[in-house]
């Protein structure tokens, strides 16, 4: 049985005051069946770690460097994140692929660095609207999966997030059936890369305009094990409702 995971991606939002308010709003969560994590901007990570201590909410980053250490001005290494107390790192988010030209090879190097440092990576894959309309959605996500995961030492700590680019921050959501079909495809592709046993236990998150009113039907799908939530994770009330919708299941 895979434990659902609901993770908030706060992107480049927040001030010390608003982050404090948001974290206060997540206090007293009672959702033992669901794992909950938040990924603030780098500068708010220590604040989030302090506020989440003892709450059961874990903390991650939205990216990390491919390099272990050295002359990489402006970069943050994976081991710096584990040293702080982070558990997670989001890698290959479509906004990184789009605005920072991140290639599958670079994402693979970041993933290796994250695993070496003891972080649990959440690898994002997803097709654009044009790619879906051209009938290429499966081949695109399969190539992204292979490009990041092939040749990695171990995939046991890796979570996959299927985030169709056309659904991120747009208010459009993949229908539960569309999302389930892609998740089933991804699990099969993962089995080809890492074996049936690992694929059966890997958590596959859906991301793309998840909201309180669409979360439950997404979470009912057998291969959807939680969500990576952007906009709605910035509102404590909405995020709490999404967490409640994730479990317990079945």
List 35, 44, 66, 93, catalytic entry: 93
The DSSP bridge partners found for residue 35 are 5
Least gap, CB of 231 to ligand PEP (angstroms): 3
CA gap 27, 57 in Å, rounded: 9
Q: In this structure, what token pair is assigned to residue 206?
A: 């859906």
Least gap, CB of 54 to ligand PEP (angstroms): 27
What region does 101 belong to: left with phi over 0, alpha with psi -120 to 50, or beta?
left
Mark whether 220 is an active-site residue: no
Least gap, CB of 208 to ligand PEP (angstroms): 5
Q: Is 50 helix (H, G, I), strand (E, B) or coil?
A: helix
State the pairing for strand pair 57-61/88-91: parallel
List 35, 95, 102, 163, catalytic entry: 163
Q: In this structure, what token pair is assigned to residue 182?
A: 């892609």
- Considering only residues 40-99, where is the footprint of ligand PEP by CB under 6 A? none
Mark whether 163 is an active-site residue: yes
Instruction: Rule CB under 6 A: say whether 230 interacts with ligand PEP.
Output: yes
Q: Among residues 60, 164, 208, 226, which is the contact residue for ligand PEP, using CB under 6 A?
A: 208
Cβ-based nearer residue to ligand PEP, 65 or 94:
94
Residues 223, 7: contact at Cβ < 8 Å?
no
Residue 167 has a CB neighbour count (10 Å cut-off) of: 22
Least gap, CB of 100 to ligand PEP (angstroms): 14
Instruction: Rule CB under 6 A: say whether 163 interacts with ligand PEP.
Output: yes
Q: Site residues (CB under 6 A) for ligand PEP? A: 9, 163, 168-169, 207-210, 228-232
């Amino acid at each position: 049985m895979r434990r659902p995971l609901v993770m908030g991606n706060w992107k480049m939002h927040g001030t010390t005051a608003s982050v404090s308010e948001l974290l206060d709003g997540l206090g007293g969560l009672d959702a033992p069946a669901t794992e909950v994590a938040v990924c603030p901007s780098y500068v708010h990570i220590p604040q989030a770690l302090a506020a989440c201590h003892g709450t059961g909410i874990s903390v991650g980053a939205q990216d990390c460097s491919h390099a272990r250490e050295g002359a990489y001005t402006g970069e943050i290494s994976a081991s710096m994140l584990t040293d702080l107390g982070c558990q997670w790192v989001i890698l290959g988010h479509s906004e990184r692929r789009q605005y920072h030209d991140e290639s599958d090879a670079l994402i693979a190097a970041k993933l290796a660095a994250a695993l070496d440092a003891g972080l649990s990576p959440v690898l994002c894959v997803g097709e654009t609207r044009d790619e879906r309309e051209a009938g290429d959605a499966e081949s695109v996500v399969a190539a992204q999966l292979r490009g990041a995961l092939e040749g990695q030492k171990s995939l046991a700590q890796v979570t996959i997030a299927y985030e169709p680019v056309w659904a991120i921050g747009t208010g459009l959501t993949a229908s539960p059936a569309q999302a389930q079909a892609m998740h089933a495809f991804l699990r099969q592709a993962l089995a080809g890369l890492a074996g049936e046993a690992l694929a059966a236990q890997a958590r596959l998150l859906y991301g793309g305009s998840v909201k309180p009113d669409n979360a439950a039907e997404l979470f009912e799908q057998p291969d959807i094990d939680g969500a990576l939530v952007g906009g709605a994770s910035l509102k404590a009330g909405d995020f709490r409702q999404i967490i409640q919708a994730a479990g317990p299941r079945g």
